Structure 1
Amino acid sequence: METIELQQTLPEVFAGRDSIISDVWHRQVAFQRGKTYLVEAVSGTGKSSLCSFIYGYRKDYQGIICFDGENVKNFSVSRWVEIRKRSLSMLFQELRLFPELTAWENVQLKNSLTGHCKRKQIEDWFSRLGISDKWDQQIGKMSFGQQQRVAFVRALCQPFDFIFLDEPVSHLDDGNGKIMAEILHEEAEKQGAGIIVTSIGKHIPLNYDRVLSL
């Protein structure tokens, strides 16, 4: 996948509003593979909706979303499965981890589907992010910041043309945010991938090619 394009896209819930001031909604905007984007937002502007629309979880929007010129609303379930496995990785704000499973088990669930990473690579990421001691701990017993780091590692356990991260450092200190940025840059560069980050304030420190206001 080389391009994600939004054409006059707007959440249906916003349809009755007289005016929408946004660089994304009701515009034509394209995200290119290999580029890095920051989407800045305030609460209530549809940030989480944008993530769900692009990932195919929701279709309650007007306009068109295209992957390489194809309208995603026409994609079959099997097509979406393949896209989420090989082309598009998503780190949701709510993380979507399984609280009863350990950190390693949560990551391994994803990696077993893709076979993308060696265990040694995952162990290295855990070490760099300061959560090696949480490897066998249940997610439900970890802080949200620790969970964010586990979910981030899980998001890397697949090939991707684009990786979408929704407020990935909201509960991290600057040091861990910097380490996350370094790992993210390394992995995206290896795959020639695009990075799309959302933020309502604090954001991961990357060299952004474009900053958009939602």
Structure 2
Amino acid sequence: MEQKKTVIVTGFEPFGEHAVNASWVAVQELEKLGLGHEINLHVAEVPVEYQAVQSLLPSLWKQQLPQLVVHVGVSGMATTVTLEQCGHNQGYMRLDNCSFCPESRCCMEGGPDCIQSVIDMDAVCKRVNSSGLGVSVSVSKDAGRYLCDYTYYMSLFLGEGRSAFVHVPPLGKPYSAEQLAQALRAIILEMLELMEHNKGKKHCLHDQ
């Protein structure tokens, strides 16, 4: 019998003007929906603190041995559900919920400037947008140099690229928590399918 795949999905706690963080609300809705019988879904709320992320992420990757980790964050500027292609190492100057920011301004001293996800976000975006879901999806290459970007970079590093980041708009602008959860479910299932499909041809970029 094939072992169930494990997928971890995280949202963030409230911060700044986001007294309710749409990302965690949407992830809790997703937990109710589930990802089908073949997939173990674990959800976690991530503190908006650099040091907490440093300790939480390695334990998530080690304990659960996930196929994929998807981090969800809220962006006050987003009007679509936005797939982030890469995480960045440097430029972290904004203070977190503990009024802390890394002295080095980076995630990992000596780490690569940018780490790409193994998932082709353009392909995921196209598939979900053409599925008639009613939620608009777009792709970005800048996750914003705050806890979202920081978390994504760490996760990409720990998981050797088997991570994804999704920015959602605040609740009701324009989507409800249920709509966001439906979109996350569709996005994650597409990501898993693409990863499965690309297993044998890691180094071949001709057919993208």
TM-score, normalised via structure 1 length: 0.32
Which has the larger Rg?
Answer: 1
Instruction: Report which structure shows greater RCO (CA 8 Å, sep ≥6).
Output: 1
Higher helix residue share: 1
TM-score, normalised via structure 2 length: 0.33
